[in-house]
Every structure is written in C-alpha cells, then in structure tokens.
Amino acid sequence: MDTVLHVAGLLLLLIACLASLASLPLGLPGTFFMVVAALLYGWATGFAAVHWSTVGWLLLLAVVAEGIEFLAGAAGAARERPSRRVMAGALAGGVVGGLVGTPFLFGVGSLLGALAGAFAGAALAVVSEGGTMGSALSTGLGALRGRLLGFIVKAAVAVMMLVVLAAAVL
C-alpha cells in the first residue's frame, strides 16, 4: 500500500508540474505553481525527498525567471532608445496587453497581448518624446523581441526547475 501512495504522489507531482509548464503561455506564474507543488509534495512526504533547500532553490529560480520575463521587454526597448519613459512604456504596455489579451485564443492571447503591448507601449513612448515613426517602430520591435526572449528564458528556467525537482524525488 505504501508503494501505491508513493507512486500516486509522484504522479500528482508530475501532473502539477506539467500543468505549471502549460500555464506559462497563458501568462500565469507557472514557476511559482511549481514551487507550491514541490512544497506540498515535500510536506506530504515529511520532506523526505524534497527538502526545504530544494524548495528554496526552486523559489529562487522562480523569482529570477519571473523577474527576467518582466524586465526583458524594457531592456529590449532601452537598447534601441535609452529612456525611462520608453522603458516604463514597454513595461506598462506589456502588463496591460497581457491582461487585455487573456480572454482570447484560449488564454494564449495573454502572451500575444503582452508582446503587442510591449511593442505599443515602447512605440507610443518614443512618439511622445518626439521621435520619428521609424524610431518608434524600431524601439517597439526591440521591446517585443526583449519580451519574447524573456518568455523563452522563463520557460527554459521552468524546465530546469522540473529537472531539479525530478532529481530530488527520483
């Protein structure tokens, strides 16, 4: 009976981690969901396989991944046109776009909205500073590329978190 419970617990942990990965394109903080799943599994097993240190490392990776994703759009825009207004526009546009896009395309619109919002926010900021349309498009594309790169890095870190968790429990 003990083996059945152990296998069931591992299966639930695997399902939770895969659901966490699947939530990333929906704009949800899947990395933090994975930390919660690891914490619950550790608690349920008396922290026999997943120790507090493992949960701590996973939490650190989640914070880094979410931070990189959040700031990457602003960094991409600032690379094209270094300005606080442009960086703030890319950040705000990414957040607003992600929220507005959430109900579309079965939730994947959140990612697309965040990309479009980062583009629009940075481009509008350039125009508000008196920049040309070409400069606005270039800066907007930089923000979009940065935000996309941030998402890719976040997804890669989430896979790394899954590997760390798998190494702990297996």
Report whether pLDDT(141) > 70: yes
72-81, 93-102, 129-138, 152-161: segment of lowest average pLDDT: 72-81
Q: Which two tokens stand for residue 124?
A: 């509008």
What is the structure's pLDDT at 118? 85
Query: Is the per-residue pLDDT at 1 higher than 70?
Result: no
pLDDT higher than 90, residue 133: no
Global model pTM greater than 0.85: no
Closest CA to 56 of 38, 70, 74: 38
> Looking up tokens 């989640």, which residue turns up?
62
Print the domain residue range for 84: 2-169
Count of structural domains within the chain: 1
Provide the angle, in degrees to the nearest 10, between the axes of the packed helices 84-101 and 133-169: 60
Phi-psi category of residue 107: left, alpha or beta, with phi > 0 → left and psi -120 to 50 → alpha: left
Q: Tokens 């526009």 sit at which residue?
A: 89
The model's pLDDT over 71-123, given as tens digits with 9 standing for 90+, comes to 877 777 777 767 788 888 888 888 888 878 877 777 678 888 888 888 888 88
Q: Is the pLDDT of residue 163 over 70?
A: yes
DSSP-derived secondary structure letter, 162: H
Residue predicted with more confidence, 57 or 136: 57
| Distance of alpha carbon 155 from alpha carbon 18, whole angstroms | 12
Instruction: Summarize pLDDT for 30-67 with one digit per residue, the tens.
Output: 899 999 999 999 998 888 889 999 999 999 999 999 88
At 2 the pLDDT is 78
Helices (H), the chain: 2-23, 30-44, 52-80, 84-101, 109-128, 133-169
Token duo for residue 6: 């152990």
